Chains A and B, each alone.
Chain A
Amino acid sequence: MLLDIFDPKAPPRAIGIDLGTTNSLVAYVKNECPTVIADCHQTSLLPSAVHYGDRGDVVVGADALLRAAAHPRDTIVSVKRFMGRGADDPETRRLAPYAFVAPKAGDANVVRFGVAGRVVTPVEVSAEILRALKRLAEDELRSLGGAVITVPAYFDDAQRQATRDAGRLAGLEVLRLINEPTAAALAYGLEKKQNGLFAVYDLGGGTFDVTILVLDNGVFQVKSTGGDSALGGDDMDAILAEELFALAHRDARAATPSEVRVVLDVARRVKHGLTTAPEVEIDNPLGSVPATMLFTRARFDELVRPLLARTGTACKRALRDAETKAESLDGVILVGGSTRVPAVRAFVEQLFGKAPLADIDPDQVVALGAAIQANVLSGAGNPDDVLLLDVTPLSLGIEVGGGVVDRVLPRNTTTPAAARAAYTTQEDNQTGFEIHVVQGERELAADCRSLARFTLRGIPPMAAGLARLEVTFRVDADGLLSVHAREERTGIEQAVDVKPSYGLDDDTVEQMLIDAIDHGEADLDARRLAEARVEAHRIGRSTQKSVDDDPSLLFEGERERIAFALAHLEQAATGADPRTIQLRIDDLDTATKSFAERRMNRAIAMAIEGQRLDQVERTVEHAKGIEAAHGSPLPPPAPDDALASFANHPKPEVER
């Protein structure tokens, strides 16, 4: 009955995207089966390479890779390594053929590449890859719903935010960011229908993650995660490349960008060759003496040993954080192309004491898991089948006196998460608080990753120690942080969505969206309107369903107020102004606020009640056993005001 403004020919389908360092791919759930989408050449792996041409043209994928040798500076590969990083990040000093551009005064502190006469940020480069995947999916599905994009579990807030921005820039509705190892576990878990404790060892092109999680009838509960967001197959290539330069008696630092590109590519082929052969002989790509070079697997294993040792340290810490031992694991899942390297498999087997599982293609498993989650979130799948409970990978804290970090949310806290901490002034008549939010495990703020700085102003002068500042951290289901600060005595508040230190602010992303129109993007206003209508349609339908489902929770007059807001929203959605639609959505939001809370409280009460019945049943079963043995039944437990849980709201006065 409501908001039937769309008549889509094909139902929109949600997609799952694995935005990888080396390769990216997109998948969706087809007839209840997660499936990767292939291009016209039947390839599903899209190389994560973007080439910028002289005439403003952009080429993505295998065709971009072909141009890399001739145009090393204008072709960005492995852009993921630069996401969410500052312009002076050590990552920019690794062996790579790029021309980095320092940010101008006032610009955001992010990496910038100089390509074919323009300057692009990693967010824009990633958006090109996402656009290519989006086109691929549109060819297959016609109508796209939202997208789930995967990120390394060990990505920090800035790296996650950058990924979300890239999705937005590519015109995707990002339903959720999920962690790659968790996505892989989802694909495995649903296929094998096996419960137990698992480790996921995910070594990709540029990032390493380890995750310990429990699978229990569709609930995927992450116990701990660890890793290194700058460790992967690329580093193996770089080590081999350095070796190659050394064998050719050349200084890698003095090589031209083209030589660097060529040698890195040869190194990668050598690595691939050594996966199946014990040795690989190549012609010297630098054309100097010696004419040929021989690489043995034994030497390669020796070269990568330090990298593997770093993954081992992270694995041990993850096991400790999960309060478990390798012996207790029911299985180890291998994810990521780099786990094809024999030395990696042997290392994992030795580390965990059991042969790892790799029967789902390690290149595809993450995208398949993302597709399953996208299907659930879009409402097409059954949300009771699957639930991901993930954690924060890094501790979040605030810099306090002496540059020391006060940890507010420790690493491996289940998300969504919230935590509060209270602080006070150190000086008399201090009227402002400088708040520095950091992420990381080190004791000193300077050694952690800076996320944002902001100041709470306008506090009336008072003696030191009298003001009371309460800072609240919230991490949502995407793993993104928001911070809220409030001075308790004056009630002065400030909310900040953490972003600035190494990210683009909303205005910059907005400007990029506008700029995209000049580069052949569809009309921005049309896109906004379409998005607003989809949102209006979804919210309208869902609100109507809530009202129909729970009429007894409505207060007097509430039904009418909601119906009124719904009718206005419906009307606005037939119009052409996305801003008006947004305003009506906000109105509906206000009208349903307390009803929504009552529904949530009821959901809690019912869940607890269900759990209690279950428990009573078991107790009764148990008691029966005891009765049979001793002849004296036990009473069921009777906890106190349990059902009153969140019920500090007034009872509805009128039903219906």
Chain B
Amino acid sequence: MNDPFKIFGVARRFDIDLVEFAKIHRVLSRALHPDKYAQAGASERRAALEKAASVNEAWRVLRSPVRRAEALFALAGVAVGENHEPKPGVEFLMEMLEEREALAEARAAKDLAKVRALGSAMAARLAETEAKLASGFAKSFAPTGPTGPEPAAAELAMVVPFLGQLRFYTRFLDEVSLIEEEND
């Protein structure tokens, strides 16, 4: 995988300033977009196309908290994804199941206020989880360089479960905005 942080010329971290990153994306796009090389030779056109695509890919990863976290784990050598992450606890699963049921009920009843309330509660939990991930990554990607591969990986493994939570919360919020849209 290409390192999206390297492509953007920034240090690896989870809590990023999206406005600043959007600016970097635009600056890189201006420098690389195939439109700028429309009159160039085939090799330059191809190189520009490839680099522009990798810049866009990096931006797609960086702007999404879930994909950004996945990339940071991968870069630190911590395997994540379906078969590598610990299964979430039963307690957490039950809780999510209840939240989903509440959402489904509110949707069926067209109770938009309830849908919004469930959404903002979930958004708060999401923010909390993002903060935990940010501090976990900050420790392993300290600006002075990682503290050595092993302790960093061990420490990072502790925050892997937060990634699973992040996915749950994100999916829940996607559904909330979908319901808001259909009731608009």
Contacts and interface: CB of A to CB of B under 8 A. Distances in A.
A102 interface: no
A588 B26 contact: no
A538 interface: yes
A376 B35 contact: yes
Contact of B60 (A413, A585, A589): A413
Interface of A: 175-176, 216, 219, 221, 316-317, 320, 373, 376-379, 383-384, 387-389, 413-419, 474-477, 538-539, 542-543, 546, 585, 588-590, 592-593, 595-597, 599-601, 603-604, 606-608, 610-612, 615, 638-646
Contacts of B34: 416, 476-477
B6 A641 contact: yes
Contact of B35 (A388, A546, A593): A388
Contact of A383 (B7, B35, B43, B145): B35
B184 A316 contact: yes
Interface of B: 6-11, 20, 23-24, 26-36, 38-44, 46-57, 59-60, 143, 145, 177-178, 181, 184
Nearest to B59: A414
B11 A639 contact: yes
A317 B180 CA distance: 11
Contacts of A646: 6-7, 51
B49 to A, nearest CB: 5
Contacts of B39: 377-379, 538, 542
A387 B44 contact: no
Nearest to A647: B6
Given A383-B35, A416-B56, A600-B48, A608 B143 contact: no
A596 B6 contact: no
A606 B38 CA distance: 20
A316 B181 contact: yes
A416 B53 contact: yes
B141 to A, nearest CB: 9
Contact of A477 (B6, B26, B35, B43): B35
A599 B41 CA distance: 12
Contacts of B178: 320
B51 A596 contact: no
A477 B49 contact: yes
Contacts of B35: 176, 373, 376-377, 383, 387-388, 477
B10 to A, nearest CB: 5
A644 B9 CA distance: 8
Given A416-B49, A416-B56, A389 B41 contact: no
A583 to B, nearest CB: 13
Contacts of B60: 413-414, 417
B10 A414 contact: no
Which of B44, B51, B60 has the most A CB atoms < 10 Å from its CB?
B44
B44 A608 contact: no
B134 to A, nearest CB: 17
